[in-house]
């Protein structure tokens, strides 16, 4: 029995894909590429969240971020959401006033970045849906004022640069437990 395919993504991603299967879609454990960084940026180009999974000096991070953000923000909505810059394959998507940007680079052994761009777009969409379920409708203020929880949420999904979990319930359960514990009078989080 073959899965039904979506017409909107040029017949490449099944409709009944399931969040657990994103890891398989991206190549599973045998992947040669990993996520190098995740950025969340507003329309003015201000970084609201950044997470790096490979060591980059602070000066290089600032330069890389500003150049990639400038390139992503200057592109029109009619242009593709993928670009290559300084060896990184950059995949981005805009949701309301936020840009979610993921950068990948081949591992040291790899010479070519064969990352599945549509799989990464699906990962970004899953990240946004998970954040929406956690915060209602995710906005820039949620990221700014609850940055620790956002880091925790992303860390539940991505570990050491590889996508580890995509099931919303499994991602949000530890966050709900922390919030419930912090509401108790004798909480260790007070």
Residues 82-122 have pLDDT tens digits of: 988 888 899 999 988 899 999 998 766 656 667 788 989 99
Q: Among candidates 120, 93, 113, 100, which has minimal Cα distance to 22?
A: 120
pLDDT value at position 30?
Answer: 47
Three-state SS sequence of the chain: CCCCECCCCCCCCECCCCHHHHHHHCCHHHCCEEEEEEEEEECCCCEEEEEECCCCCHHHHHHHHHHHHHHHHHCCCCCCCEEEECCEEEEEEEECCEEEEEEEEECCCCCCCCCCHHHHHHHHHHHHHHHHHHHCCCCHHHHHHCHHHHHHHHHHHEECCEECCCCHHHHHHHHHHHHHHHHCCCCCCC
Residues 136-185: pLDDT tens digits?
888 888 888 989 889 999 999 999 888 998 899 999 999 888 888 888 76
Per-residue burial over 109-137, b = 16 or more CB atoms within 10 Å of its CB, e = otherwise: eeeebebbbbbbbbbbebbbebbeebbee
Lowest-pLDDT range of 10-14, 34-38, 120-124: 10-14
How high is the pLDDT of residue 107? 61
Asked whether the predicted pLDDT for residue 29 surpasses 50, the reply is: no
Q: Which residues contact 149 (CB under 8 A, 6 or more apart)?
A: 134, 175
């Amino acid at each position: 029995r073959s899965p039904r395919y979506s017409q909107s993504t040029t017949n490449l991603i099944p409709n009944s894909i399931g969040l657990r299967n994103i890891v398989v879609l991206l190549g599973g454990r045998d992947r040669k590429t990993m996520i190098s960084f995740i950025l969340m940026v507003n329309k003015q180009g201000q970084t609201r969240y950044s997470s790096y999974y490979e060591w980059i000096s602070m000066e290089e991070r600032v330069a890389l971020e500003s150049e990639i953000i400038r390139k992503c923000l200057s592109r029109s909505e009619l242009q593709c959401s993928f670009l290559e810059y300084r060896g990184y394959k950059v995949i981005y998507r805009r949701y309301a006033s936020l840009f979610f940007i993921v950068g990948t680079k081949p591992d040291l052994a790899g010479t070519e970045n064969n990352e599945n761009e549509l799989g990464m777009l699906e990962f970004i969409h899953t990240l946004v849906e998970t954040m929406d379920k956690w915060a209602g409708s995710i906005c820039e203020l949620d990221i700014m004022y609850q940055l620790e929880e956002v880091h925790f949420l992303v860390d539940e999904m991505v570990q050491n640069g590889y996508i580890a979990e995509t099931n919303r319930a499994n991602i949000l359960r530890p966050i709900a437990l922390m919030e419930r514990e912090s509401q108790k009078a004798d909480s260790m989080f007070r």
